[in-house]
Chains A and B, each alone.
Chain A
Amino acid sequence: MSESASTLAFYLLAAITVVSAVGVVKSHNLVHSALLLALCFIGVSGLYVLLQAEFIAAVQLLIYSGAVAVLLVLGVMLTQRSSMADSNPANDWSRWALLICGLLAVVILSVVAATPWHGSIAAALENSIPVVARALLTDYMVAFETAAVLLLAAMVGAIVLAKGVEEE
């Protein structure tokens, strides 16, 4: 991919991501929010491709855009009885939240700008999947397996919570 094409792709994907994120927050219809969220996730996975992390991009697509977004849509459907119009209202202190979030963005961005990054000049790995796989199954073995246990626990917990315990 040429230099300019990748630059163009970045801005395009970044714009999709940010705008759809804003849409998630600003939309008054919860279903729209959920769909825009999926779009945002897709944009993020595109960014991952640009960063040459293809495996993560695939995982992002599968889990976020696939599972999580669908799960959230399901959640919306199961908890929303009446019409979807105005199903995603904002509360009374959004101005204060806007102020704080804006200032926080200013702080973080100024830190990003002020930090002297010691970037590596090395090119990205041609194929990062073996490296990630080796790291996962050697150095991060314990964490990997713990994550598996966490997933199991979350599954059981979710079932118990959603099903409800027989209350005496």
Chain B
Amino acid sequence: MIGLVHYLTVGTLLFVIGLYGLLTKRNIVAVLMCIELMLNAVNINLIAFSRFITPELATGQVFSLFTITVAACEVTVGLALVFRVYHDRDTVLADRLNWLRW
């Protein structure tokens, strides 16, 4: 019987994989992808909770809708920023964007 814990495990794995990518990918577009992975992990959690804890309310589904909306906005603006940076600095590698350093 597949229960809550299984889905949470999948969510956790998806989350840490996304986190790993977030921390290690040099290309900003790849970083954006990894953020999407993490957001998906959260969505899996939300819907799993909705299904197994409060199945009659579907609150988790509503919340995941909002998450998806925000994720869409995020990726749009994020990509626009990437274009901007690429246009200005001629690079999309995160470790090259280090003007905040000493």
Task: Assess the A135–B58 pair: CB atoms within 8 A.
Answer: yes
Please give the distance in Å from B3's CB to the nearest CB on chain A: 7
Interchain CB contact under 8 A, A112 and B80: no
Interface pair A14/B6, CB less than 8 Å apart: yes
Contact B47–A37 (Cβ < 8 Å): no
Count contacts between A and B, CB distance < 8 Å.
238
Residues of B within 8 A of A98 (CB): 20
Given the complex of chains A and B, what is the CA–CA distance between A34 and B27 in angstroms?
A: 12
A85 within 8 A of B: no
Main secondary structure of the interface of B (DSSP, over half): helix
Given contacts A3-B1, A71-B76, A162-B83, contact A118 B53 (CB under 8 A): yes
CB distance from B76 to the nearest CB of A (A): 5
Partner of B51, one of A52, A90, A131, A161: A52
Q: Is the CB of A125 within 8 A of B56?
A: yes
Contact B73 A47 (CB under 8 A): no
How far does the alpha carbon of A91 sit from the alpha carbon of B6 in the complex, in Å?
32
List residues 34-60 of chain B with CB under 8 A from any CB of chain A. 34, 36-37, 40, 43-44, 47-48, 50-59
Q: CB distance A75 to B32 under 8 Å?
A: yes
Q: Are A87 and B27 in contact (CB under 8 A)?
A: yes
Q: How large is the interface on B (under 10, 10 to 19, 20 to 34, 35 or more residues)?
A: 35 or more
- Contact yes or no, A56 B64, CB < 8 A: yes
Cα distance A51–B58 in the bound complex, in angstroms: 11
Q: Digitize A144-160: 1 where CB-to-B-CB distance is under 8 Å, 0 elsewhere.
A: 00010011011101111
For A74, the closest partner residue in chain B by CB is B79
Q: CA–CA, A123 to B92, complex, Å?
A: 48
Given contacts A17-B14, A154-B76, contact A88 B56 (CB under 8 A): no
Question: Would you list which residues of chain A between 103 and 160 have a CB under 8 Å from chain B?
Answer: 104-105, 108-109, 112-113, 117-120, 122-125, 128, 131-132, 135-136, 140, 143, 147, 150-151, 153-155, 157-160
The 6 lowest CB-CB distance pairs between A and B, nearest first, are A154-B73, A161-B80, A158-B80, A97-B23, A25-B21, A94-B24
- Mind listing 8 A-B residue pairs with CB under 8 Å? A10-B2, A64-B40, A64-B71, A75-B82, A89-B26, A93-B23, A108-B15, A117-B53
